[in-house]
Each structure stands twice: as C-alpha cells, then as structure tokens.
Amino acid sequence: MQPEVVEALASRFRLHRLDQVADKEALLSEVGPHVRGLAVGAQTPVDAKIFDRLPRLEIVSNFGVGYDTIDAKEAGRRGIIVTNTPDVLTDEVADLALGLLLSTVRQIPQADRYLRAGKWPTKPYPLTSTLRERKVGILGLGRIGHAIARRLQGFDVAIHYHGRSRQSDVAYAYHATLLDLARAVDVLMVVAPGGAGTEGMVNAEVLAALGPDGIVINVARGTVIDEPALIDALRSGTIHSAGLDVFAKEPQVPQELIDVERAVLLPHVGSASVHTRRAMGRLVVDNLVSWFDGKGPLTPVAETPWSRRA
Ligand code: 8YV
C-alpha cells in the first residue's frame, strides 16, 4: 500500500504493521487480541487461521476489488465485515484490457522491440492479425466486463458473454456455458472473479474451441485459466495468442510463457495508475473510518452484507 494510505491510517488509528516485521508470529501474539480492523493488500491471504488470532476483529478492508485471497464466507460466519474497492478502478482496468487486446492482436510491444533493435531499415515489420471481423466473448459481465463491452462497441466488433445468468438489460449475445461462448467467438476476455468457483475454468477444451485465430486476454486472476493448458495451446498453435496481466503464481511467470514471442505479458498493472491507486487507497481508509465512526462500511462485499443494526 502507498505511503499515503499508511499515513492516513496511522493518523486515525493505532497502527500495527504486520507487513514490516520479520517475526509475524510474535506481533500477532502481542497485539492480535486487541486488533479490531485489518487493512490488507489484495494478494494477502486472510482466513480462519488469521481470524482465530484476532478475536476482536470487526472489519477487513481490502485494497483491490478482487478478494479471492480472503475467506469472506468465514468472515461472514464470524460477523466480520469485508470491504473491497469496486467502481474506483473499473475504467482503469477496462482501459488496460482494451490496450492489452490491441497490443496482442496488432503486436504493438513486439513492433516496438523490432524498431528499437534497429531491424526496420532492413525489412518492414511482418503483417499482423486483426481485430476486424472478430467476435469478442466476455467471461464475467460485471462492472469491469460492462466497461470493457462499452469500449468494444466503439471498435465495431460483435460482443458475446457468459456469466452465471443472462442479463435482461443488455443486447450482447448470451451463452449459457463457457464452452458455447468459446465456440462462438475468437477473442475471450477473462474478467470473472478468482477463487474456487472459477479455478481453471478456461481449460484445454475451451481453448481448443476458440480455435487457431483465438486470442485470450486475462485481466482478472491467473487462476481462472488453466495455465499449463494455456501454455500448451500457445505452443501448439491451438490458439493464436494471449495477452495476460495476471498469472497463477504472481510475481512468478512461467518461462514457457515468456518464451512465447506472440504473447503480451504485463506485471499485474490493471489498476496501477497513480490516480486509481490513490482512489483505491482512499477507499481502503474510508471504509475503516466509516466503520469505526459507527456509520457502517462503505463497500461491503456480497458475503458480508451490512444493514444498520438497531
Ligand atoms: C489490485 C486487483 O490493486 O483490484 C484487484 O482485484 O487485482 C488490483 O487492482 C492489486 O492486486 C493490488 O495489490
């Protein structure tokens, strides 16, 4: 978390930094019984084991919209509120998803590398694939999925989607299964939340259904894609390419993916602008302040709904 988040927390609360100490066990034993609020980075696991150490915990404020590393159901059972940072990052992540799509289809980073390597005077850059006449499938038509779809409309491509249910207020083509979606499109934009329910759902069969022109873009969680199956599909030409902002075991990226020159790989930067990270940080703090002011959480997650208690 940015220094300004830490400063804001320290000015309002008595702050203990588990991320700064070598002996986390010792700090947990010392202050755990008194801790009432937790501010966590999106990649920090928070589960029953941690809750056991924090018996007075009331709220977990997560820096990020995705909270697959937090056992929110368990939090709900214990009456602990979990909050995340929706909305403030929607447009930023959707912009990045479109950038990643264009970069992958038109090989923008590769062409940049080509110029820098001094190869242009020798021979023009090879022709690339195109976004023209493509059908784009969105896996997960939530806030970010909708923002991606709105942007895609400007690119004149057909838009399809798969999610748990058909959305009555959109005209995009719905597919009841991911496999049906993959059969119907040649670009798959992965925006589904991470966690057990979506783990490995973009599997070998789905990738094969996308076909040899197929392109996979992932700005959600690496776990949604069966990464070894993706590597196989890229190497064998089962699909054309992939643009990935997220990976199964970040910050480790398999060498087999790095070796695929056609793939575009980013170090999980979807929300990583100064503007948006600042807004996310503010929301992490504001959720805690609002809660401890007795005004309730601002953005509780679905598993821990909150209504003002009498
Ligand atoms: C996080 C993200 O900000 O919001 C999410 O779910 O993945 C990112 O925007 C990032 O993981 C922070 O650590």
- In the chain, alpha helices (H): 3-12, 24-31, 48-53, 72-77, 90-106, 108-116, 143-153, 178-184, 204-210, 227-236, 255-258, 274-292
CA of 118: how far to CAs of 68, 90, 111, 115, 127, in Å?
44, 38, 11, 5, 18
Residues 166 and 49 grouped into a single domain = no
Whether 307 has a pLDDT exceeding 90, the answer reads no
């959720």: which residue's tokens? 287
Tell me, yes or no, if 7 is annotated catalytic.
no
Residues 167 and 228 grouped into a single domain = yes
Residues 184 and 253 grouped into a single domain = yes
Give the mean pLDDT of 161-169. 96
Token pair for 77: 């059972």
Residues 96 and 219 grouped into a single domain = yes
Residues 102 and 185 grouped into a single domain = yes
Give nearest CA residue, ligand 1 atom 3.
Answer: 64
> What global pTM score does this model have?
0.96
Whether 308 has a pLDDT exceeding 60, the answer reads yes
Residues 133 and 225 grouped into a single domain = yes
Residues 191 and 244 grouped into a single domain = yes
User: What is the structure's pLDDT at 310?
Assistant: 46
Residue 196 lies in a domain: yes
Residues 127 and 253 grouped into a single domain = yes
- 143-153 vs 90-106: helix crossing angle, rounded to 10: 50
Question: What distance in Å separates the CA atoms of residue 164 and residue 47, rounded to the nearest whole number?
Answer: 26
Whether 43 has a pLDDT exceeding 80, the answer reads no
Residue 288 lies in a domain: yes
- Residue 33's CATH number: 3.40.50.720
Residues 113 and 261 grouped into a single domain = yes
Q: How confident is the model over 53-101, as pLDDT tens digits?
A: 999 999 999 999 999 999 999 999 999 999 999 999 999 999 999 999 9
Domain that residue 107 falls in: 90-265
Q: How many A from CA of 238 to the centre of ligand 1?
A: 30
Q: How many domains, in total, are found in the chain?
A: 2
Residue 35 lies in a domain: yes
Q: How confident is the model over 231-289, as pLDDT tens digits?
A: 999 999 999 999 999 999 999 999 999 999 999 999 999 999 999 999 999 999 999 99
Tell me, yes or no, if 16 is annotated catalytic.
no
Give nearest CA residue, ligand 1 atom 11.
Answer: 42
Contact indicator for 39, 63 with CB cutoff of 8 Å: yes
Residues 114 and 242 grouped into a single domain = yes
